[in-house]
C-alpha cells in the first residue's frame, strides 16, 4: 500500500509542479513582457479577467507541489541526499514566496485594477505591492533552475552527492547561507540583474553552477 501512496504522491508532484513552474515562467517570460507594451485598458482588462484565473492555478499548483513533496520526503525518512535537501529548501522557499508575498500583493493589484475598471481611482498601496510581487516572482524564477537541477541530480546524475552527514555539513551550511541571502534580497532588496528575462535566466544558471560547485568541492 505504501508504494502506491508514494507513487501517487510522485505523480501528483509532477503534475502540480509542471502547472506551478509553467505558470511561473509564463508570468515572468510572457505576461510581464506583454504588460510592458500593453496600453492601460488592455492591462486593466487582463488584471481583472486573465490574471486572477492564472494566479488560482499558480498558487494551488504550488500548494499541491509542496504537499506531495512532503509526502515523498516522509517516505524517504532519513535517507535524503544533500542535493535533494537543498532542492527541497529552494522549493519550500518558493512555495512560501507564492503564498506569503506574491499572492497577497497581487490581490492588492487586482483589486486596484477592478476599482479603476469600475470608474474609481487606483489604490495607492498597489504602487508598492506590484514591485514586491515581481521581485518575489523573479526570485522564484532564479531558484527554480537549481531546484529542478538538484531534484534530478539526486537520482539521475552519477556523481550526485550522497546522504547528509558530518562530512557534508560545511557544504550544506554554505549553500544555505547563499540561498538565505538571495531570499532576503527577494523580500527586502532589489531585482538587480533579474530585471530582464535574460538576466534572471542567466542568474538562475549561474546560481545552479555555484551551488553545484559548493556541494562538489566542500
What would the pLDDT profile of 106-165 be if each residue is shown by its tens digit?
A: 999 999 999 999 999 999 999 999 999 999 999 999 999 999 999 998 777 754 666 666
Reduced 3-state DSSP string for 140-187: HHHHHHHHHHHHHHHHHCCCCCCECCHHHHHHHHHHHHHHHHHHHHHH
CB atoms within 10 A of CB 105: 22
CB atoms within 10 A of CB 19: 17
Please state, in angstroms and rounded to a whole number, the distance separating the CA atoms of residues 169 and 182.
20
pTM of the predicted structure, to 2 decimals: 0.94
In this prediction, residue 81 carries a pLDDT of: 86
pLDDT-above-70 percentage for the chain? 95
What would the pLDDT profile of 108-122 be if each residue is shown by its tens digit?
A: 999 999 999 999 999
What would the pLDDT profile of 175-214 be if each residue is shown by its tens digit?
A: 999 999 999 999 999 999 999 999 999 999 999 999 999 9
In this prediction, residue 166 carries a pLDDT of: 59
Please state, in angstroms and rounded to a whole number, the distance separating the CA atoms of residues 154 and 139.
23
Grid coordinates representing 23 are 505558470
What would the pLDDT profile of 56-89 be if each residue is shown by its tens digit?
A: 999 999 999 999 999 999 987 767 889 999 999 9
Grid coordinates representing 63 are 500548494
Grid coordinates representing 113 are 485594477
In this prediction, residue 163 carries a pLDDT of: 66
The mean pLDDT of the chain is: 93
DSSP secondary structure letters along the chain:
-HHHHHHHHHHHHHHHHHHHHHHHHIIIIIIHHHHHHS-HHHHHHIIIIIHHHHHHHHHHHHHHHHHHHHHHHHHHTT--BHHHHHHHHHHHHHHHHIIIIIHHHHHHHHHHHHHHHTT-PPPTTHHHHHHHHHHHHHHHHHHHHHHHHHHHHHHH-TT---B--GGGHHHHHHHHHHHHHHHHHHHHS--GGGGSHHHHHHHHHHHHHHHHHHHHH-
Q: Which residues contact 38 (CB under 8 A, 6 or more apart)?
A: 46
Closest of 144, 122, 132, 140 to residue 211, by C-alpha: 144
Amino acid at each position: 500500500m505504501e508504494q502506491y501512496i508514494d507513487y501517487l504522491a510522485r505523480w501528483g508532484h509532477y503534475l502540480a509542479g509542471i502547472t506551478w513552474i509553467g505558470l511561473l515562467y509564463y508570468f515572468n517570460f510572457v505576461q510581464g513582457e506583454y504588460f510592458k507594451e500593453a496600453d492601460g485598458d488592455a492591462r486593466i482588462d487582463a488584471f481583472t479577467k486573465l490574471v486572477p484565473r492564472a494566479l488560482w492555478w499558480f498558487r494551488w499548483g504550488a500548494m499541491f507541489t509542496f504537499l506531495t513533496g512532503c509526502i515523498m520526503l516522509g517516505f524517504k525518512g532519513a535517507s535524503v541526499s544533500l542535493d535533494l535537501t537543498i532542492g527541497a529548501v529552494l522549493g519550500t522557499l518558493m512555495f512560501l514566496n507564492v503564498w506569503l508575498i506574491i499572492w497577497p500583493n497581487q490581490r492588492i493589484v487586482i483589486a486596484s485594477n477592478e476599482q479603476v475598471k469600475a470608474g474609481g481611482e487606483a489604490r495607492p498601496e498597489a504602487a508598492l505591492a506590484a514591485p514586491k510581487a515581481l521581485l518575489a516572482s523573479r526570485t522564484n524564477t532564479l531558484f527554480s533552475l537549481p531546484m529542478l537541477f538538484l531534484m534530478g541530480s539526486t537520482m539521475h546524475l552519477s556523481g550526485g552527492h550522497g546522504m547528509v552527514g558530518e562530512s557534508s555539513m560545511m557544504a550544506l551550511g554554505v549553500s544555505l547561507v547563499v540561498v538565505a541571502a538571495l531570499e532576503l534580497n527577494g523580500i527586502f532588496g532589489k531585482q538587480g540583474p533579474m530585471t530582464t528575462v535574460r538576466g534572471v535566466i542567466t542568474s538562475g544558471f549561474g546560481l545552479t553552477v555555484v551551488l553545484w560547485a559548493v556541494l562538489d568541492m566542500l
